[in-house]
Amino acid sequence: MISVPGYEVGGILLSEDEIRDRVKELGRRITEDYAGEKLLVIGILKGAFVFMSDLIREIDLDIETDFMAASSYGSGTESSGQVRITREPGISPQGRHVLLVEDIVDSGITLKYLKDTYFADRNIKSVRICSLLDKPARRMTDVTPDYKGFTVDDMFIVGYGLDYQEHFRQLSHITYLIEK
C-alpha cells in the first residue's frame, strides 16, 4: 500500500462498487433533470477528473466537456479563503446549462465563488454543482451541491481522484488518512 511520511491509510470508507452504483444513479438523475437540453459539464481539476470520467458515461444527453482549475487551498490542507483560477474553461459557457463537477465540497469557498461570481455575468442558462462527496462539517459558505454522491465526516479523504500531495488519486475506492 502507498504511504506518505506522517500518515497511514485507514480502512475503506467507500468501496469501488458503492461508488460505481452511486455514480450511475447520479447520471440517471442528471439525465432526467436535463432531458431535451444540451449540457456543458466542467470538471474542477485535479480531483474531479476520475469522478467526471465515470459520471459522463452515465449521462444520456448531448453533452460537451471541459475542465477548469480553481482552488482556495494552494498546497496546504486548510482553505486560504482566496480563490485562484489557474485554468479557465476553453468552451464558452454563454447561453448554456453548466454542470460543475467537483470531487468534494469542503469549505465551499471555491464553488461559491465559481457559481456566484465567476459564472454570474456570463449569460448562462443555469449552473448546478455535482460533487461526489459533501463534507458539511467544514462548510464556511452556504453552497450546497445540487447532486451529491455521499456525505462524509470531517476526516482527510483520499482515493478515486482525491489526493494528499498528489498521492492516492489512483485508488479505486475512497479511504482516509490517519496522522501517525
Residues with active-site annotation:
106
User: Do the strands 84-87 and 62-71 form a parallel or antiparallel pair, or are they unpaired?
Assistant: antiparallel
Buried b (16+ CB within 10 A) or exposed e, 91-129: eebeebbbbbbbbbbbbbbbbbbbbeebbeeeebeebbb
In the chain, beta strands by DSSP E: 7-14, 38-45, 62-71, 84-87, 97-105, 126-134, 147-151, 156-158, 174-179
* 8 Å CB contact between 177 and 156: yes
Alpha-carbon distance of 109 to 138, in angstroms, equals 10
